[in-house]
Structure 1
Amino acid sequence: MANASPYGRFTHAVVRGIPESFGQEGGALAVDLAKAQRQFGCLTGALRQKVGLQLIEIPPDPELPDSWRVEDVAIVQGGTALVTRPLKQQRRSEAVALKKVLTELNLTVVEMGAEGGGSGGPTLEGSDVFFTGREFFVSVSTHTDRRGAEVLADTFRDFTVSTVPVCGGVRLRDICSMGGPDTILISSSSGAQRTLRTMAQLSDYEYNFLTVPEESAANCVYVRGPSNRDFLLHRPAEECPASVSTFQKLQDYTLLPTACSEASKAGACLSSLCLLINRKHTPA
């Protein structure tokens, strides 16, 4: 087991622009492309200008309508990046541009391929993976199977990797996120609370838990910025009015309300749009 290290120290954020084909994969709600692009711009602006991260933006690709969900395609911890294997065949092409960026950041890139070279094989997406800085939790879903979780464990052998159930067809990152080095933000829904109890039973660590009344508010982006200030990007009052008072309990934090309504309509959340990385040096 790896030595416990505080969560939230990041230097870079990798993002990918919203393509003109955004929302064409279908969904329960109609999306507004222009609004989605504005919201994406606000997110990237906050990460770069307010938090102080070095932003690496991969150009959008209209042939890859889901490629803006960059979190799904790689799991990064320390100097290693595991390029995942999404469920949809088309999404696996998203890794090409991302691998180039990860290599330029001098990360050791591990690719998750099909076993035996066939079309079958394990599947893993970042939306099903929750890293606390001390251990990994993975939800087995329609997008991530048990073999995918095993590949994650094989790649990051210094960390415990536990599988946990998630109810109602949601993804693990939909219902929880880190709200600080030792704080887990989690939805108050009955399903999320069941998942939380399982996580607590499997973990050797003690965390503080901050419960939000709206499930869509449970996914936030916490960063201890280069200035050693605590930043929390969270859904704004217009989108999650009942949860704002909960965020305000985080004293001495810089709260950054960040809209995500259009990505949410497409089944994503705030953390889906960025891949956070901690590197000591900027690539030459």
Structure 2
Amino acid sequence: MNVLGDNFAIKTVIMRGIASTLAGDALRMNDVEPVDMKKAMEQHETYYKIFKNQLQLNVIVLDADDSLPDCVFVEDPAVVIGQIALVTTPGHPSRRKECDAILKTLQSFKDIDIKIMKHIDPAANLDGGDVLFTGDEIFVGLSKRTNEAGIKVLEVAFPDFSVISISIQGSLHLKSVCTLGGRRKILIGSDETSTDVKTQIEKKSSVKYEFLEVKDIPCSANSVYLEIDGKPTLIHPSTTKYPLTGQVYKDLQNIRKIECDLSELSKVDGCLTCSSLLLTV
């Protein structure tokens, strides 16, 4: 059985700049709060510095493309596990050209075996935000952005891992309500959608996970888990913004914790995992 280990030993992070068109044109489920672009840029820079300066990783920052307002969210155009990368076909047509720059960047790594979803099945759609790799298996959200054909392509691309489909209702992506919080630990929301996801995971997986339930909004469970020189590390949302969830993070033991606020990007459905693509090469 595959377990957490080398697949989480991150060495390189791919990011992308924020398009000037994001505030007006980026996709969003609820058009309620305006995005403060200056603050969004500052928060994104802090996010970059966590990877580059605090964690001492190789960070590649691609130029923003103003014709692609969502391009900062590099998680969706590709899924990378170990030395295999699947370049996806995002569910929303406006996001599909984002894949071009991601593919070109991945091709610069000779050790990565690249699969291209549209070449395997032109009818397949999948957003990387629907894919939660736990080290043992892959959970994938069947959502508005990811279809059954996309899930089947994921199975083809990553044959060494079980791929488990999780139906998503009321949320954009699977990782909008749950992410990895450590070895066999899943951070998860407490609303109806999150509870349903938890029930499905418990029913469909043979692995026993510890669920860490957050009491603020579900996206406060979205954190970036990685291992640096064998040390578990978690980049998590602001404990000031989410005080109830903050206690969950404070209670985590034997893990390096780094707080990061991307609240401006959250106004266009962006969570912490959305703005980075993690590589082990």
Number of the residue aligned with 1:24: 24
5+ residue gaps, structure 1, are 280-284
Amino acid in the other structure paired with 1:108: D
Amino acid in the other structure paired with 2:91: L
3-state secondary structure, aligned to 1:185: strand
Q: Which moved more, 1:69-78 or 1:132-141?
A: 132-141
Number of the residue aligned with 2:38: 34
For 2:154 and 2:232, locate their aligned partners in 1 and report how far apart those are by CA, in whole Å: 29
Number of the residue aligned with 1:205: 207
* Contact preservation (8 Å) 1:14, 1:274: yes
* Contact preservation (8 Å) 2:171, 2:177: no
5+ residue gaps, structure 2, are none
For 1:170 and 1:72, locate their aligned partners in 2 and report how far apart those are by CA, in whole Å: 12
For 1:124 and 1:99, locate their aligned partners in 2 and report how far apart those are by CA, in whole Å: 15
Amino acid in the other structure paired with 1:230: P
Count of aligned residue pairs for this structure pair: 274
3-state secondary structure, aligned to 1:72: coil
For 1:233 and 1:172, locate their aligned partners in 2 and report how far apart those are by CA, in whole Å: 18
Number of the residue aligned with 2:73: 69
Q: Which moved more, 1:186-195 or 1:259-268?
A: 186-195
Deviation at 1:196? Answer: 0.9
- CA displacement 1:198-255 (0-9 Å, x = unmatched): 11111121222211112121100112113x3322111112321211111011123222
* Contact preservation (8 Å) 2:224, 2:234: yes
3-state secondary structure, aligned to 1:109: strand
TM-score by length of 1: 0.91
TM-score by length of 2: 0.92
Alignment of 1:49-198 (within 5 A): 49-106=53-110, 107-113=112-118, 121-198=123-200
3-state secondary structure, aligned to 2:23: coil
Deviation at 1:44? Answer: 0.8
Number of the residue aligned with 1:236: 238
For 1:101 and 1:181, locate their aligned partners in 2 and report how far apart those are by CA, in whole Å: 29
For 1:125 and 1:40, locate their aligned partners in 2 and report how far apart those are by CA, in whole Å: 21
Q: Which moved more, 1:83-92 or 1:72-81?
A: 83-92
* Contact preservation (8 Å) 2:4, 2:134: no
3-state secondary structure, aligned to 1:24: helix
